[in-house]
Amino acid sequence: MKRICVMRVAGTNRDYDTMEILSYLGAHAETIHMNEFLRGRKSLLDYDAFIFPGGFSYGDRIRSGAIWAKQLIYKLSDDFRKIADEGRPILGICNGMQVVVEAGLIPGMEGISEYPEAAMGVNVSSRFECRWVYLKNFSRGSCLFAKEIPRNTVIRVPVAHEEGRFTLPKKKEKELLRTFERNDQIVFRYCDEKGEVANGKYPLNPNGAFSDIAGVCNPEGNVLAFMPHAEDACFYYQHPDWTRKGLKGEMGGILLFKSLLSYLK
């Protein structure tokens, strides 16, 4: 059976929630502290897929996700580069998105690098944003984490972050956006309930992300950086209006995890 590693460090707080979803789906997953890899007790190469969960790794010192990303690049360099080169699935959620962006896995044009090609900026509102938002799936099929989500589907998920604004170098924004669209790298955009793109309007776009990007993958489609908390939008009772709307069963967030397990099978 394929093995999934939910990695954690000091400050992560959504590893348990993520494990609950994976256990519910019958996945063979383990929560592993980064120190186990740093001390040689565990090897990244023993796992088939990786999830970097949400939280505040190392207290978000320097920048959100920066310390964790640099540990991976410099202290686990050979194995980390190997799992990336082999195309093993990697999902970064919220703080995890910040990690994979800082590590250069996203947008992934030049591979792992100490100089990221993108950055996660402070929310335009200059405050911590904790609210429910709508996302529209724009993937044409390249991203493995969206395989179970029909194109143009709208899902509702919560955000909880202060540095969730996906940004690109100003001089390259238009060029990179065209490349993203050509490569099918834009997976989710912030939108309204009907699927109309937010166009930067607050609070539909809660952080001011460039081109309303909430989820972006690498050109190969095996790495997804996803800012909202998919693990908090998997079951009807997690939604704020489940009693009013009479919601039942599973919800949109669980489809990312189902897509991963379907790929691993």
Tell me the catalytic residues. 94, 229, 231
Query: Cα separation of 265 and 262, whole Å?
Result: 5
- For residue 53, is the peptide bond before it cis, meaning its omega torsion is within 30 degrees of 0? no
Closest CA to 43 of 97, 89, 1, 3: 3
Query: Cα separation of 134 and 78, whole Å?
Result: 38
3-class DSSP assignment, residue 246: coil
Backbone phi, then psi, for 215, in 5-degree steps?
-150, 125
Q: Which residues contact 165 (CB under 8 A, 6 or more apart)?
A: 120, 121, 122, 123, 124, 207, 208, 209, 210
CA distances from 220 to 15, 46, 85, 154, 155 (A): 26, 22, 10, 24, 24
